[in-house]
Each structure stands twice: as structure tokens, then as C-alpha cells.
Amino acid sequence: MHTFAAAGAAFLISVLWFDLMFDVQVRGHYGEVPANALASISGYYRRLTEARPMSRLVAVVMLLTLIVIVLEILFGRYHWWVGWISLIAAASAIGLARVRTIPNAARLGRASDSPEEQSRLARRIYKDHIYCLSAMTIVLVLQLGAHGRHSRHREVPDRVTPQSAVL
């Protein structure tokens, strides 16, 4: 199951990476973000929030990642803390995205607010994405680490027959 949780975390990290490529335009600007940067970020989120098949895929991956982590905890195949920390990190990032980041991105994509409000939304989305990237990276590292440390995945050396027994 750790493979599916790691794959889900890696997919969500790649989505966040693309979001951050636009979000970083708010860095270094205090007060209002320049109009061209706001237009770029707003246009990206307009296209992103209107892309129904892809946005649905991201939502499905979020849900499946949480389900797989819960199943890991229920079956207890790894150290208890791997599952629980993974669940807390993933649930906090996905919950933040669902409750605040996605609605803010849709609002920013409409570009109907004042430049000051759009700047505030863009900064909030950027900070949310940094948190989500950090949380999902924790999930990925824990899941990959659990895989490598699990006894089923360690190489067991073949029984070596002593040379004296061969003669």
C-alpha cells in the first residue's frame, strides 16, 4: 500500500510544483503585486479551475491517497508513526486545499476583485502551496522510507554452505 500512497503524494507534489511556478511571481513585491504578474497568476488559475477532467483527477488522487494511508494504519504493516504522521500531513494539506486554497484560486481566476485583494489572494495561495508541498513531501519521504525498512523488502542472503561440508 505504501507504493500507492507514495505515488499519490508524488503526483500531488508535481501538481503543486506547477502551481508554484506561477505563484512565485508574488515574491519580492510588498504591497500590490505588479499587474502583469497578477494577470499571469489569475489567467493560470482561471484555466486551472475550468479544467474539469483534470481537476477531478486531482480530487480523486487526493481522496485515494488518504484512503490508502488509512488502510495502512488499519492493517498495521509498518511502524505506527509512519501511518499516523502521513495521515496528519496529507489530511492537513488536502484539507487546507479544499477549504481555502481552491476557493481562493477560483476567486483569483475570476479577476473580479481589486488589485489589492487579488495580491492578498495570490500571496495566500502561494503560502498555502508552500505548506502543502512541505506536507506532501513529508508523506512521500515517510512512505518511501517505510518501504525500504520493511522486513519483506530486505534482501535475505542465500544460505551459504561451508566449504568443508561440500567435501
* Residue 164 within a domain: no
* Residue 62 within a domain: yes
**Rounded-to-integer distance, Cα 33 and Cα 44, Å:** 16
* Residue 165 within a domain: no
Say yes or no to pLDDT of 153 above 50: no
* Residue 162 within a domain: no
pLDDT score at 45: 94
Domain span holding position 36: 2-150
**What length does the chain have?**
167
Identity at 142, one-letter amino acid code: L
Own/partner pairs for 62-69, CB < 8 Å, 24+ apart? 62/8, 62/12, 62/94, 62/97, 62/98, 64/4, 64/8, 65/4, 65/5, 65/8, 65/9, 65/12, 65/90, 65/94, 65/139, 66/90, 66/91, 66/94, 68/1, 68/4, 68/5, 68/8, 69/5, 69/139
pLDDT band, residue 154 (cuts 50/70/90)? very low
Say yes or no to pLDDT of 112 above 60: yes
How many structural domains are present in the chain? 1
* Residue 11 within a domain: yes
* Helix runs in 24-152, H state only: 35-50, 52-75, 80-96, 102-110, 115-149
What are 87-106's pLDDT values in tens digits?
A: 999 999 999 999 999 999 99
Average pLDDT over residues 137-147: 92
pLDDT band, residue 156 (cuts 50/70/90)? very low
Say yes or no to pLDDT of 128 above 70: yes
pLDDT band, residue 123 (cuts 50/70/90)? very high
pLDDT score at 152: 52
* Residue 157 within a domain: no
Say yes or no to pLDDT of 27 above 70: yes
pLDDT score at 115: 94
**Rounded-to-integer distance, Cα 47 and Cα 34, Å:** 20
Higher pLDDT, 160 or 26: 26
Average pLDDT over residues 46-59: 87
